[in-house]
Amino acid sequence: MTVFTSPVSFAVRVMATTGVCTVVWAVAPRLVAAGHVFAGLTPDVQSALVRSFVLVVGLGVITTRAINFSATAIRAGRTTDGVHDRSPAALKLGVLPDRLRAIHEAGHAVVMAGFGWTVTSVDIVPTGVTGGIARGDPPPVTDGVTLAWERLVMKVAGTTAERLAGLESLGGLDDISRALDLALFIIAVGATPPGVECSLTVDGLIGAARDAAETILSDRRATVNVIAEALLADQRLDQTRLSVLLAAPDPQPVGGAAT
């Protein structure tokens, strides 16, 4: 079943709630005063009490609608890790949510392998707060800053792969949170990762990480697509299958021309 959430519907409901609250805001104090509900209080105090109550109720209703809208959006096809699988670009291209997740996780896997990690498994099965996951082991000897840098590039690789595929999403909330943590760790250590030229700031590090991920993924677009298709077919890929897919060279453009 296909369900679509409408921001317009949400906006209309919020406007309707605001309109009702505005009317009550203007009329209620007079009705309360006429009915002597708060006998003994001055008209100004009565008005303040009633309007405070209206404000609290109105904000409560709007907040509840916002929460319901978000929950409906997730059920409508957005993954639980915050990746907006039914973004306007994805819907325009007729891309299914599973395909977006497959490209996202394939991006993680390809960049992981690009740093010499052993990719042990990849799946696109929603579990807990994730809509899929790529797992791997780093090389035996890696210093702390280099390890943090490689993990930072891997964290932004999912959304980078989506963008290179012509899709747009907000990315996984877990990826975003961990990318920020890794950038802050590198800043706290005070050492720029080897071979990386950028300012030692969150924006500088994340921007450089996206550039690094794009460089790896641009060279291996065919591999990203092959892994994504395998994920769509089987949902999970183990280390044996991944080692074969990742070892296959991408076709080179004729005459060395850039694609």
Same domain for 109 and 226? yes
Output the pTM of the full model: 0.61
User: Using one digit for the tens of pLDDT, what is the confidence trace for 142-156?
Assistant: 788 999 999 999 999
> What's the Cα-to-Cα distance from 167 to each of 6, 8, 35, 84, 103, rounded to whole Å?
20, 22, 60, 10, 10
> What pLDDT score does 125 carry?
86
- The one-letter code for the residue type at 87 is S
The answer to whether position 2 is within a domain reads no
Same domain for 174 and 100? yes
> What pLDDT score does 256 carry?
43
Q: How confident is the prediction for the chain on average, in pLDDT?
A: 76
User: Using one digit for the tens of pLDDT, what is the confidence trace for 32-69?
Assistant: 566 555 566 666 766 777 667 767 776 776 676 666 55
Same domain for 102 and 64? no
Same domain for 205 and 229? yes
Same domain for 112 and 224? yes
User: What average pLDDT does range 2-31 have in this prediction?
Assistant: 58
Going by pLDDT thresholds of 50, 70 and 90, the confidence category of residue 100 is confident
Same domain for 58 and 113? no
Question: Is residue 209 within 8 Å of residue 201, measured between CB atoms?
Answer: no
* Interior angle at CA 79, CA 78 and CA 85, nearest 5: 45
> What pLDDT score does 131 carry?
75
Same domain for 60 and 98? no
> What pLDDT score does 21 carry?
64
* Token pair of 148 as six digits: 């943090």
The answer to whether position 256 is within a domain reads no
Going by pLDDT thresholds of 50, 70 and 90, the confidence category of residue 9 is low
Q: Which of 141, 142, 124 is nearest to 133 (CA)?
A: 124
For the chain, the domain total comes to: 2
Position of tokens 């805001």? 25
Domain containing residue 131:
88-251
The answer to whether position 180 is within a domain reads yes
